Amino acid sequence: MSLVNDMLRDLEARRAAPGEWPLRDSLQAVDEAGAARRERTERLRRGLIWLGAVILIGVMVGLMIGRVVNGEPPPLFAPEPVVSAPVVAPAPRVLEVLPQNDGRRLLLQVLLDSSVAYQRSEESGAVSLFLPGVQMGAEPYQGRVQKAGRSLSWRVEAKGDGVQILLVGLGEQLQLSDRLEPAGDRWLLWLEVPLQAAAEVVEPAVEAYAPATAAPVEVEAPMPEWASRPVPADKPRSPTAAPAPVAKQPIVELPSGPPQVRIASHQADPRTQAHQHLLEQDYPRAIRELEALHASHSGDPEVVRWLAQAYQGAGQSAQLLAWLPAQVRQYPLDVELRMLLARAQLQSGAMAAAVATLSQHAPALSTEPGYHALLAASYQQTRQWAQSAAVYRRLVALRPAQATWQLGLAIALEQLEQPAEAAKHYRLALQGQGLDESSRRFASERAGALKEPS
């Protein structure tokens, strides 16, 4: 190629004639320098491309090695999805129980680490609150308060899958108010019980049903539901018998020398132990121990009351009815023994006997309204409507907001053919406190049927 180029350049330089080289017109010299430059450029471009590919492959291999070292899968495989474990909130806990007693009230502050829901149930002489899902330590909190010859026991303990708060005592005068409030990042459950001796009583409703008619209806007043319920263990009243004198101990001279230390296991007082079994509703064991105490301490009216409560709690009505009348005759002024006997008589169907029991030695209504509420309900069982209405009038005058007493008065007035007055007290019962759902429904139906004039 170089020789041909030299020939062409020579011909062009000599400006040969047209016939000197017939191929001149069709051939031209090639620019060898330019071609060489272009070839070098092409080789350089290819080299750069190859170098870039090598660098790229090296980077990719480095990344793959790094992922393997760090425990990550190579990019050729899709990463497995990460499933996070569900977050389980810790169970609420009772942190502390703080009791306060200023002589007028018992205040329990239950400190919790979070807000909780709780269920409340109550009957005469006992209130229970259950906090499901709440935890606390194995050791319970407990205490006892005495006021005016009566006492109130309280206990906070783990029970089942939650925590139970139980208050027992004061008989018919136990009233508890409760509320849950935030306290910073904690929560406080407030429980307050008045300790006044003349506290008013909330008596269960007397359920009665009658057809919806404006004419007087003979209401078959059934035995109240609370008359058949076991009465929770109450706390002692002032005993009527004087305590036994304490025998003087002889003076014993101690021997000289170093003192001797004796260690003996503590034995609980049998009386306290029997009462604790009653509070725990272990009625068979309480009955065995209280019967033994009664045999050896027949002059202790408190043991008599506890044994009567144990008989009733265990459902031993026959044993109670055979044994308790003699005890009532021995302690004729003991209000609680009379109420226990009357409840047992109502439960067994002896309505007239219950009225006779409660009519004798009745205490003042202002101090024992629960006693008179039971008497008014017993009058209705024997269809003594006028006597029942008279007692209920005195009760609602003492406490107009007590709905169950308003309902009992309305039933008696309807049987005495006083429909307007009866409708008025049915409506007052609906505005008061203490009615269950069935009693509210009955009061509403009767108030609508009697159509109290405006």
Higher pLDDT, 149 or 429: 429
Q: How many other β-carbons are positioned within 10 Å of the β-carbon of residue 162?
A: 18
Q: Say yes or no to pLDDT of 428 above 80.
A: yes
269-312 pLDDT, tens digit each: 787 888 888 888 888 999 998 888 888 866 788 888 888 989 98
Mean pLDDT of the chain: 74
Q: How far apart are CA 366 and CA 378, in angstroms?
A: 19
Q: How many other β-carbons are positioned within 10 Å of the β-carbon of residue 233?
A: 24
Q: How far apart are CA 358 and CA 159, in angstroms?
A: 38
Higher pLDDT, 339 or 8: 339
What class, spelled out in words, does domain 225-230+315-450 have in CATH?
A: mainly alpha
Place of tokens 């409506």: 427
Q: Say yes or no to pLDDT of 327 above 80.
A: yes
DSSP, res 222: P
Distance of CA 229 to the CA centre of its chain: 22
pLDDT at position 89 = 67
pLDDT at position 299 = 73
Most confident stretch, 40-49, 192-201, 429-438: 429-438
CB 447, CB 423: distance < 8 Å: yes
* Phi and psi, residue 179, nearest 5°: -160, 150
The architecture CATH gives domain 94-194:
Sandwich (2.60)
Q: Return the domain boundaries, the chain.
A: 94-194, 225-230+315-450
Residue 403's contacts (CB-CB under 8 Å, 6 or more residues apart) are: 205, 428, 429, 430, 431, 432, 433, 434, 435, 439
Residue 410 — pLDDT band, cuts 50, 70, 90? very high
CB 311, CB 287: distance < 8 Å: yes
Report, as an integer, the average pLDDT of 30-38.
62
pLDDT at position 213 = 37
pLDDT at position 63 = 60
What is the 3-class SS of 263-291, one letter each residue?
CCCCCCCHHHHHHHHHHCCCHHHHHHHHH
CB 395, CB 369: distance < 8 Å: yes
DSSP, res 71: T
pLDDT at position 14 = 56
Distance (Å) of CA 258 to CA 15, 140, 251, 254, 255:
152, 41, 20, 11, 9
Mark residue 349 as left, alpha or beta (left: phi above 0; alpha: psi -120 to 50; beta: remaining): left
